[in-house]
Amino acid sequence: MPGMSTPPLRVQMVDPSAFTPPYDHALSAALARAGADVELVTSRFAYGQVPRDDGYVVSEAFYRIAPGAAGSRLRMAAKLAQHVPDMLRLRRHAAAADVVHFQWLTVQPLDVHLLPPRAAGRPLVLTAHDVLPREPRPGQRSAQRRLYERVDAVVVHSVHGRERLVGELGIDPAKVHVIPHGAFAHLGAHGGAAPLPTELAAVERPVVLCFGLLRPYKGIDVLLEAWRGIDDAELWIVGLPKMPLAPLRAAAPPGVRFVPRFVADVEIPAFFRRADLVVLPYREIDQSGVLFTALGFGSPLLLSAAGGFPEVAATGAAELVAAGDPAALHAALVRLLEDPAARGRLAAAARAAAAGPYAWDAIAERTLALYRSLGAGTSARG
């Protein structure tokens, strides 16, 4: 009827295991600011509180029984036992949505059969944060392909990711949509940020920061080799180990400091504001939440030329070195540590990128445009 406004899209954002809570909350908040009615359906984050914004609903509907420590076998067994009934409950709940947007589906052989049914006016969307498994279990790649085929659209964060899905898995190019990751400028923005630990706050030399979960594909061993001979700065390797730490400690030259633990959101600003340079020497990647955290803080970046990293470097916010090349990484580290003006140019470009193409409000508009292109909300509502 004339004069009637279009009702807001009802979006269900789904991350059963709370694998990427900063991303989930930032995108949900941006979609809400753009006028959508958003519900984030997830589970309680195992490592602590997650900052939330206003304007959207959070339903911790998955894995409500969580015995044992985070990452323990008992906790994993409990999650697996609850997974099917929780997914079936989501199928019923999805009837109230105009679009269901999954961020992660981790039990692929089961999940392909447990997704809500596709329906006119209620598309299913899946974001491929990890485009393909790095160390696939038997049958995992084929199960992941079936999931991609089962949904109406797949979101990737880089052109590189799109090319992999289309070229390696044969996914229909029309189904794969590039929407960038957003820059995390919200951390510490409303106060409450914690200071650095006392022993780190006392450091007076320049600091190079390598941040995030410690995994083999992130090239920490390459970085340690590249650090040899750098005597007038400190390298901080900060994050929860997901690999044996003893070999890394044994290979570390002088000037390397490990902070091997989970770092809560309230602690993150102090690390990035202290860093003179952030380095991510990954062997392989699509995109990285750590990279977009650094952009949000305007940190100068040194990245390996892997995956989607060159697409960020094209904005001027990062320098690139060949992946897996410690000599090239060493030379770049020395040059940037000796050139504060070059770091300043990278930092300025990082701030511009965070406020421009990687701003969450811009990403929300692109996401809503995708939903509408899929016909979200066009069926009659009950």
| Tens digits of residue pLDDT in 299-353 | 999 999 999 999 999 999 999 999 999 999 999 999 999 999 999 999 999 999 9
Q: Following DSSP, what letter does each residue of 246-293 receive, concatenated?
A: HHHHHH--TTEEEE-S---GGGHHHHHHH-SEEEE--SS-S--HHHHH
- Distance, in Å, from the CA atom of 364 to the CA atom of 30, rounded to the nearest integer, reads 6
- Predicted pLDDT at 5: 65
User: What pLDDT, on the 0 to 100 scale, is given for residue 119?
Assistant: 85
What was the pLDDT predicted at 1?
46
pLDDT of residue 228: 98
What pLDDT shows up at residue 186?
A: 58
**Domain layout of the chain by residue ranges:** 10-182+359-373, 198-355
* Ramachandran class of 244: left when φ > 0, alpha when ψ lies in -120 to 50, beta otherwise: beta
Strands 99-102, 10-15: pairing kind:
parallel
Give the domain 198-355 fold: Rossmann fold (3.40.50)
Q: Which CATH superfamily is domain 10-182+359-373 in?
A: Glycogen Phosphorylase B; (3.40.50.2000)
Low-confidence ranges of the chain (pLDDT < 70): 1-5, 186-192, 380-382
pLDDT score, position 314: 97
Do 198-355 and 10-182+359-373 have the same topology in CATH?
yes
